[in-house]
Amino acid sequence: MKKLFFQVAMTCAALALPGAGAKAAEMTDELKALAAAASKEGRLNLSWSQSSLGGSQGASRIEAAMNKMFGSNVKINFAPGAEMARIANQLATEFQAKQQASVDVYLGSAAQIAPLVTFNMFEAPDWKKFLPERISPEYVEVENQFVRVVTGLSGVTYNSQLAPSKPTTLADFLKPEWKGKVASTPYAASFDVLVADDVWGKDKTFDYVTKLNKQLAGLIRCGDAERIATGEFVSLVMDCTGQDALIWKERGAPLAQMVPLDAAQQRYYYLGVPKNAKFPNAAKLFSVFMMTEEGQKIAWDTWKADLHTLPGSQIGKQMQEYYAQNVKFKEVTIQWWLKHPEIDEHKRELIKIVTTK
């Protein structure tokens, strides 16, 4: 009798508490089992750039929120990593050498993931079963191996104070007032999508980049947006995805992001769990958490990016504004990338162009 009373009381209390309690009650059976298995594993190895998802501090935040929401007990071991492609390469190398993966969750975009697909090295759980109200079928790609977590808009990061004119299209940067004020990346970031057959295509992209080359002053990495703020360069054509500009703007820097009206791209970032991960269940739990409302909020807070198709998405709001201006975004998914093998070869040529004075 006492026991029953207790259980009822607890359930009422749980139902009464917003957020965590409510979610706990809504957890599907699969999710509950996953949380239990993750707690048993107890740890999770993550590694990406310090600028993604808030790096180590973001990881702590996620750890606390995730454990609270799912009632799990997972400790995240975060190591600041290099670029996404490097980590992908590391995973591929480890997999081929039949060793354990050094990270349990991979965060990357289509450009980095497409080359990995042939290895068939990622787990393919039925993601929808974990969070059916949030994870739609189209969010999951390559037969369940990857789930979209945020949307990024590629474009140009520029210095709003020093810009000679407010740019709206890529063609603006070929104008004489921008000469010597433009930077690009040594890996031709974001031009890879443009060079695909069904976007700008080879000729148009090569033509543009060759002309841009004459405007170029130098090369910086995607993460060097701060150097745009100092005025060393006035714009980065193109950036990887526009989060940096928004993050720095929040810190007070005179940076702005421009989504080019003539070359808008939306790239997804995915999460995937390698087959040879050390803590696969914790990894899956993490990925599921990132799709929840709380997870998406943390993503926006730390990275200025969330999945635009989920309700309450900030990126979604931005994109609505662009839709209103009749901008057509090219959706860059893994499937799309796999259909365009010409990108790799052309990209090398593009890199040669920008790296030659």
Q: Where are any strands of DSSP class E within 189-324?
A: 216-219, 235-237, 255-258, 265-272
Among 38, 62, 111, 163, binds another protein (CB under 8 A): 111
Residues 241-280 that bind another protein (CB under 8 A): 248, 251-253
In Å, what is the CA distance from 115 to each residue of 59, 89, 99, 339? Answer: 27, 9, 19, 12
Nearer to another protein by Cβ, of 100 and 325: the residue is 100
Residue 328 DSSP class:
P
- Kindly state whether residue 218 participates in binding another protein, applying the rule CB under 8 A: yes
90 or 168: CB nearest another protein = 90
Nearest CB to another protein, comparing residues 287 and 292? 287
SS3 254: coil
Q: Rounded to whole angstroms, how far apart are CA atoms 287 and 162?
A: 40
Among 73, 77, 144, 169, binds another protein (CB under 8 A): 77
* Residue 151 makes contact with another protein by CB under 8 A: no
Our CB check for another protein shows the closer of 210 and 325 to be 210
The verdict on 226 binding another protein (CB under 8 A) reads yes
Report the length, in residues, of the chain. Answer: 357
Neighbouring CB atoms inside 10 A of 252's CB total 8
Q: Read off the tokens for 186.
A: 């040594």
Applying CB under 8 A, among 36, 124, 171, 217 the residue interacting with another protein is 217
Region 32-51 residues binding another protein, contact defined as CB under 8 A: 45-47, 49-51
Q: Are 172 and 208 in contact (CB under 8 A)?
A: no
Q: Are 256 and 160 a contacting pair, CB within 8 Å?
A: yes
Stretch that binds another protein, among 19-27, 130-138, 215-223, 280-288 (CB under 8 A): 215-223
Rank residues 193 and 261 by Cβ distance to another protein and give the closer one.
193
Alpha-carbon span 338 to 356, nearest angstrom: 29
C-beta of 189: minimal distance to another protein in Å? 7
Place of tokens 């809504």: 26
Beta strand ranges found along the chain (DSSP E): 43-46, 75-78, 106-109, 140-141, 146-154, 156-159, 182-184, 216-219, 235-237, 255-258, 265-272, 330-332
Find the shortest distance in angstroms from Cβ 184 to another protein.
10
Among 18, 97, 311, 326, binds another protein (CB under 8 A): 97
CB of 169 to another protein, least distance (A): 24
Q: Give φ, ψ of 66 to 5 degrees.
A: -65, -45
| 8 A C-beta contact, residue 72 and residue 35 | yes
Q: Which is nearer to another protein, 115 or 201 (CB)?
A: 115
Least spacing, CB of residue 17 vs another protein, in Å = 29
Point out which residues bind another protein (CB under 8 A). 45-47, 49-52, 54-57, 60, 77-83, 85-86, 88-89, 92-94, 96-97, 99, 102-103, 111-112, 115-116, 180, 183, 186-187, 189, 216-221, 223, 226-227, 229-233, 248, 251-253, 351-352, 355-357
